[in-house]
Each structure stands twice: as C-alpha cells, then as structure tokens.
Amino acid sequence: MKVRKAVIPAAGLGTRMLPATKTVPKEMLPLVDKPVIQYIIEEAVAAGIEDILIVTNRAKSAMDDYFDYYPELEDRLQRSGKEKELAEVKRSADLANIFYVRQKETKGLGHAIWRAKRFVGDEPFAVLLGDDIMKAQKPVIRQLIDAAEKYDRSCVGVQSVATEAISKYSSVKVSPLEERTFAVSDMNEKPTREQMLSNYAILGRYVLTPDIFPILETLEPGYGGEIQLTDGLKVLAHQDKMLAVDFEGRRYDTGNLKGFLEATVDFALEHPETGDWLRAFLKEKAAAL
Ligand code: G1P
C-alpha cells in the first residue's frame, strides 16, 4: 500500500465559532499568520502527500481563492520590494495539487468522505479533518501512514481522553499489536459513558482503503441524523481490517473557541516574529492576575 492522496473535509457550517464564521469559513480563520487549513495542508505535504481534495460547500470559495495565484497583489508586492510577503503569497498557491468537490447537502462526515470517491479511485488515502490541528515532531498523518502501510490495513489516529470528554468523540475497542499500534475490533460515535469502548478517541486523522466507499453508500444516518464515518469504519473494524495508532503530538480543536485560542497562543509562542514579545506580554498579564 502506498498513500499519495489526501482528503480534507471542510464543509461544516462552523456553528461553534459564530458570529465570526457567518461569512468567513472556519478553516480560513488565521492562526497567527496563516489560515487554519494551511497548517493541515502543510502536514499532509510534509508526510509526502501529492494530491489533496478539499470537500467544500457553497459558502467556502475563499479557500479556492487562497490556494490560487493573485497576480495583482503579487505585482504590487514585487514593485514595492516586499520579497518576503511575495514569497509567502506564492508559496501558499504552490503547496500541493489541490482539488475541490462540493458536498451539496450537509449530511455528515461519512457523506463528505463519500464525495471523494471519484478523486480517490482505487487507492488508499489519508483523511485530515479541517479543524483538527496537530503539533508534532513527525507529522501525525505520517505516523498513521507508516502503520497502515506496514499492516496493509486502514488506520485511525487516537489518543486517550478523559472519561467525561469521550462523548464529544468516537471511542474504539483496541488490542495491542506493538508500541502505540492496536488492532481495532469495534468503535462507536459520541458514546455515553455506558457505551464507551475505551478512553481512546479518534482525533481527526485517518488512513482509509477504498473499501469504505461501498459501505458509506448504503449507510443509514446515525448520531445526529447524519451519515457518520465512524459507523462505516465500524464495519471494517468488525472485519478485522482496522488499526489505531496512539499518535505522538498535541492536537488542537480549532473548531471551538477555547481550542482555537490555545492553538493561537502555542503557535504564536513558537513564531519567530511573535514568540519573545508574547512571552513578555503573558508574563506581564499573569503578574497582574
Ligand atoms: C468528528 C468525528 C468523531 C471524532 C471527532 C474528532 O466529530 O465524527 O468521530 O472523534 O471528529 O476528530 P465532530 O467533531 O465533527 O463532532
């Protein structure tokens, strides 16, 4: 198995970040100096992915514009000698081969992934959720690809979360294969405490084989009345075709206000232009608390 393609579902309505996301897609909100989605694309590219499909909707054309050239702006930057800005503006358009498809109806994550069927063909592919940002030494999706390629199976990225938090995610039933890698025999979406299968929750990264498409095609709506990817993956888990990797790295849910602010502070502390300044500013604030 060789993973060359990635799918980024980014067709959600962004209801947890209103009113900002009424007209700006949540994936386009700036984390320090780049939109959220650029971090996700950069993770995929760093993992060796060449072709990326973004699943969008009718309110998200700012994303296609962002990953395109902008000759008028580039000319202006060139004429005024703003080399650094010019390089950054061009780099965002040249990151990868980016394709788009619209999810014409908001019917859930499983339905969004199903829209990728024509793009994916009969290859395995990575999935990176559009609002889960990772900070890791080795790209999180690369950690999953390595396991998926080694065992020739689909793979979900998991981390252990607090029992009180599991109902926000999906939980997986695992048995160990090797360090940080597990076989998955069952999973469920948004479980109650009684339904949870373990503290391991799926957190925004997947490597899937095209076996998932016929399953998604006939899937009944699940949690929230939506076609849930987890329900489709459960079928693969029951067939013993699914792995989980307890990935190394910090995950931020930038689709909610607190996660977004945590990511903003952590990334700004590491940014060469803002790091020292922010550290001093935070110390001053903390002293006054
Ligand atoms: C989605 C998935 C869920 C996963 C979560 C975090 O849920 O359906 O299985 O655990 O992302 O990656 P959502 O955050 O869209 O409710």
What does the pLDDT look like over 12-70, one tens digit per residue? Answer: 887 888 998 888 999 999 999 999 999 999 999 999 998 999 999 888 889 999 999 99
Query: Which atom of ligand 1 is nearest to 109's Cα?
Result: 8
Q: Assign 11 a pLDDT band (cuts: 50, 70, 90).
A: confident
Whether residue 254 has its Cβ less than 6 Å from ligand 1: no
- pLDDT score for 289: 87
- pLDDT score for 198: 96
Which residue intervals of the chain are DSSP H helices? 36-46, 61-66, 71-79, 83-93, 109-114, 117-120, 140-151, 212-217, 229-238, 257-270, 275-287
Whether residue 202 has its Cβ less than 6 Å from ligand 1: yes
Which of 103, 129, 141 most suits a substitution to test ligand 1, by most atoms within 8 Å of the C-beta?
A: 129
Other Cβ atoms closer than 10 A to 163: 11
Tens-place pLDDT, residues 80-100 = 999 999 999 999 999 999 999
pLDDT top residue among 252 and 13:
252
Whether residue 110 has its Cβ less than 6 Å from ligand 1: no
Lowest average pLDDT, out of 1-5, 60-64, 186-190, goes to 60-64
Average pLDDT score over residue span 206-230:
95
pTM > 0.75 = yes
Other Cβ atoms closer than 10 A to 268: 19
- pLDDT score for 106: 84
Whether residue 169 has its Cβ less than 6 Å from ligand 1: yes
pLDDT of 255 > 90? The answer is no
Which residue is closest in CA terms to ligand 1's atom 2? 169
Whether residue 25 has its Cβ less than 6 Å from ligand 1: no
CA of 208 to the centre of ligand 1 (A): 16
Query: Which atom of ligand 1 is nearest to 205's Cα?
Result: 12
- pLDDT score for 91: 93
Lowest average pLDDT, out of 11-15, 25-29, 75-79, 263-267, goes to 11-15
Sign of CA dihedral 202, 10, 34, 83: positive
Average pLDDT score over residue span 110-137:
95
Query: Which atom of ligand 1 is nearest to 202's Cα?
Result: 10
Which of 170, 208, 230 most suits a substitution to test ligand 1, by most atoms within 8 Å of the C-beta?
A: 170
Which of 169, 205, 229 most suits a substitution to test ligand 1, by most atoms within 8 Å of the C-beta?
A: 169
Q: What is the mean pLDDT of the chain?
A: 94
Chain position carrying tokens 């013993």:
240
Average pLDDT score over residue span 167-179:
95
Query: Which atom of ligand 1 is nearest to 189's Cα?
Result: 9
Which residue is closest in CA terms to ligand 1's atom 1? 169
- pLDDT score for 115: 93
State what percent of residues in the chain have pLDDT above 90. 88
Radius of gyration of the chain (CA): 20
- pLDDT score for 16: 86
Chain position carrying tokens 């890698």:
181
